[in-house]
Amino acid sequence: MTMLKIDNLQANVADKPILKGLSLEINPGEIHAIMGPNGAGKSTLGYTLGGRPGYEVTGGSVEFAGQNLLDLEPHERAAAGLFLGFQYPVEIPGVSFVQFLREAANAQRKGRGEEPYSGGEFLKLAKEKAGLLKMDMDMLKRAVNVGFSGGEKKRAEMVQMGILDPKLAILDETDSGLDIDALRICGEGINSIMRAPDKAVLLITHYQRLLDYVKPDFVHVLAGGRIVKSGGPELAHQLEDEGYEAVVA
Amino acid sequence: MSEVAALPTRKDEDFRYSDIDALGTLWPVAREEIAVADGAEDTLQIVLDDSEAIARHIAISVGKGATFDLRVLSAGPTYGRIALDVTLAEDADFTLGAAQLATGTETLEIVTDVHHTGPNATSAQVVRTVLADHATGTYLGRIAVARGADGTDAEQSVRAMLLDRTATANARPELEIFADDVKAAHGCAVGELDADGLFYLMSRGLPPAEAKRLMLQAFIAEAFTGAPDEEALSEAALVRLGTLVETGL
Ligand SMILES: Nc1ncnc2c1ncn2[C@@H]1O[C@H](COP(=O)(O)OP(=O)(O)OP(=O)(O)O)[C@@H](O)[C@H]1O
Ligand SMILES: [Mg+2]
């Protein structure tokens, strides 16, 4: 069964059409990369799929694991197995990472009819995932993203993904802001968390460098609110060599 | 005073935002006296968690080198008024940490009049107000630094959060300084919950009410930081915040 089926999706932001008939299908076990010029609508796609207020769907449909995704509230989308890695993770003063993540994980489990994690179980899980991303557990005791460097925020996104264990991860420029070592650690983290026959990833990126670690099965070019070209991994190399204008024209 | 003072009207500055009808049922309000002896340390916690209307007027005199730590949680009364007259002698220290949490048509107010009468005394007031539905929350805070009260350090941090546009927050800081070398920092702000933060929490699986509660818990935390019974106050506040986010419009 298809995991995510986006059909002719149209969405407005502040009354301005940004997604203009975008179609894309993702099957379990696949890794897709979306590349495209600044302002093309890549983050808008992620936010629209995540259900962010202000992103108004004006046409088309999105099916996720057999459900109408667009009918669900953001937290229900998460419980259904969707994870959105933010291009700009939000700082939330005074709210501790571990407290929030435990409540979030347990809310998701409740939504799926599963038993909540005990405090001990959760800490063990958090420690394991932080270790995977080589992140100091002390950072997770701090307020959500507050005072984190750009790269630390991205790494923390991956720790959250590890803890929440989604079916589909949409990762918006997870590689931007990462140093060379962190890029490798995050790439390997994505593989270890998400490379599975029943999971899928949609990577939004500008560069080949992340794709060297997380090898995509398909690469798409998003421009002007639509997928204008799709291909295999070689398309990313071609884009890097020749630029969007030459490839898309 | 043998004479009973007349019921104030809204023309009286200190009662400008009061629920005069409710106040009428409580009038006259007897003045309570607290005297902290020179060099002594005292604390008081006032928790208003009953729905009955209540008004208290407390005069606090903090002696030479003495400290007084007062925490207020106003979370329940249909009308709740706490008026404080505080007098600080030389080297005295006064702390007020207060949270007012209201919904429905509740009216909560805190009115403080802090007099620095001797040199080098310190006062810090942290007031956090969260309002849902048609509630009204008011903080009127006057600080008077008398001639000769040099070296005074008076701090006021006043913030209100509106969960619904139909709620009303009033804040009026007032400073009268007749001394030298005085540090007086005050700021007041009225805001709404950060929409980006809320979406971030929801995208991880937290239902909207829980996401709001978590952010509000962080918002009021500072009022109870360092309180002798910080945990009990925070717990009680959290319960009330749960009601606020659920009764909000
Ligand atoms: N709140 C908003 N109001 C008006 N226009 C907006 C708003 N948010 C986004 N847009 C516009 O929508 C378009 C798509 O933005 P989006 O963030 O999806 O681009 P992107 O492909 O992710 O770009 P980048 O590669 O720079 O991250 C841009 O033209 C942007 O200016
Ligand atoms: Mg973007």
User: What's the pLDDT tens digit per position in A205-231?
Assistant: 999 999 999 999 999 999 999 999 999
Contact criterion met (CB < 8 Å) for B205 and A111 = yes
Of B204, B219, B221, the CB nearest to A78: B204
Residue A240 belongs to domain with CATH number: 3.40.50.300
Q: Which atom of ligand 1 is nearest to the CA of A222?
A: 21
pLDDT at B55: 97
Q: Considering its fold, how many domains does chain A have in total? A: 1
Q: Which of B82-96, B183-197, B230-244 has the highest mean predicted lDDT (pLDDT)?
A: B82-96
Count of all residues that appear for chain B in the document: 249
* Reported confidence tier of residue B147, pLDDT bands at 50, 70, 90: very high
Average of per-residue pLDDT across B193-213 = 95
**Cα of B203 to nearest chain A Cα, Å:** 5
Contact A109, A78 (CB under 8 A): no
pLDDT at A123 > cutoff 70: yes
pLDDT at B1: 44
Average of per-residue pLDDT across A167-174 = 97
CA nearest to A160 within chain B:
B204
Question: How many Cα atoms within 13 Å fall on the side-chain side of residue A13?
Answer: 16
Of all residues in chain A, what percent carry a pLDDT higher than 90?
91
pLDDT at B2: 44
pLDDT at B3: 56
Average of per-residue pLDDT across A103-121 = 92
Domain boundaries, given as residue ranges, for chain B? 13-193
Average of per-residue pLDDT across A113-118 = 93
Tokens 């997604």 sit on residue = A19
Per-residue CA distances from B227 to A95, B61, B108 (Å): 19, 20, 22
pTM: 0.90
Query: What's the CA gap between B203 and B77, in Å, rounded?
Result: 35
Concatenate the DSSP letters of all residues of A114-162 into one string. -PPPPHHHHHHHHHHHHHHTT--HHHHTSEETTT--HHHHHHHHHHHHH
**Cα of B204 to nearest chain A Cα, Å:** 6
Q: Is the CB of A42 under 6 A from ligand 1?
A: yes
Q: Is the CB of A204 under 6 A from ligand 1?
A: no
With a CB cutoff of 8 Å and minimum separation 6, the contacts of A182 are A151, A154, A155
Q: Containing domain of residue A228, as a range?
A: 4-248
Q: Is the CB of A205 under 6 A from ligand 1?
A: no
DSSP state, residue B59 = E
Contact A165, A193 (CB under 8 A): yes
Q: Does A94 touch chain B (CB under 8 A)?
A: yes
Query: What's the CA gap between B90 and B60, in Å, rounded?
Result: 15
Of all residues in chain A, what percent carry a pLDDT higher than 70?
100
Test mutation, A48, A76, A86, A144, chain B, max B CBs within 10 A: A144
- What average pLDDT does chain A have? 95
Mind listing the pLDDT tens digit for each residue in A60-75? 999 999 999 999 999 9
* Reported confidence tier of residue B158, pLDDT bands at 50, 70, 90: very high
Query: What's the CA gap between A63 and A54, in Å, rounded?
Result: 20
